[in-house]
Structure 1
Amino acid sequence: MTFKTSKQRSRERVVQALYQYLVSGGEILQIEQQFLNQKQGKISKAFFSNLFINILKNKSLLDEIIAPTINRETEQLGAVEHAILYLGAFELKFSPGVPYKIVINESLELAKLYGAEGAHKLINVSLDKLAQTLQPRIDE
């Protein structure tokens, strides 16, 4: 088993919480508490809550910026892929301090872990397009 940082575990848990929300709806704060109270693996609780709550607050905006990067309607995405794209798009747009390569890599790892077969390809293409517009590359 590979070592995961508390931020990596937090991102993983954000995807799980978003998935639960997308699939069953439910009370956002209840879902947040449920995932904060899980015992396995240390997470950064503030990082988790900030991502989870703010992704849901910005769901419409995130769908708007994701839509042009995929070849289907956002409603047609599987819940896992949608959750991962929400996370990646949110971090690219609102966390300029996080390098786009890290955002994309973390999202790909989550897609390989939880997504449908081949989902990582969709995630990679979408987030790469977003990164080009949201985080201009000064290093290339």
Structure 2
Amino acid sequence: MSHPSHTSGIDPAARSRARRRALQAVYAWQMSGNRVESIIEQFRHEQDMQIADLPYFEELVRGVVRLHGEFDAALAPLLDREVERVDPIERAALRIAAFELRERIDVPYRVVINEAVEATKRFGAEHGHTYVNGVLDKLAAQWRAAEYAARG
């Protein structure tokens, strides 16, 4: 059983659910090309969003859609193939994590990577999580250099 953090008011379980839903929504956007608002609306009504952090879900999905070109450009040198050739689940996980690493510095980079790895284990290909982990470790070293260097 999880409890909201007493210091920040954040419920880690609700955040995790928001990230998993965001992964599914970003995947749906990547595959369909539908408007982001339509996808968010669909998830708001079809998924059990009452137990997820809905504002965080929406921030992640809108942020990834708005900034995916920047994130793809940053990820490209760290990949062993073109961004568009990365498995769609892994690509969604990488984009969401890139958003969190750059835009949500309040979330520790290790949490970002762990959440992306766990979501990829759940929804992705058998060894996709190891690929996501390796790429995000390199991205964290660049974008969160001080935090990364201070790891124990």
TM-score, with length taken from structure 2: 0.86
2:40 maps to 1:32: yes
Q: Deviations over 1:24-77 (max 9, x none)?
A: 111211101111223425111111111110110001001011111111100101
Which 4+ runs in 1 deviate beyond 6 A? none
Which structure would you say has the larger RCO, counting Cα contacts within 8 Å and 6 or more residues apart?
1
Q: Deviations over 1:78-110 (max 9, x none)?
A: 111110000111111111111111000000001
Contact 1:70 1:122 in 2 (8 A): no
Which residue number corresponds to residue 139 of structure 1?
A: 150
- Number of equivalences: 139
After superposition, residues 37-76 of structure 1 pair within 5 angstroms as 37-40=45-48, 42-76=51-85
Q: List gaps (5 residues or longer) in structure 2.
A: 3-11
Alpha-carbon distance in 2 for matches of 1:94, 1:106: 16
Which residue number corresponds to residue 17 of structure 2?
A: 9
Given the alignment, which residue of 79, 90, 94 partners 2:99?
90
Q: Percent identity?
A: 32
Alpha-carbon distance in 1 for matches of 2:33, 2:47: 23
Amino acid at match of 1:104: I
Residues 39 and 84 of structure 1, relative CA distance in 2, 3 Å threshold: closer
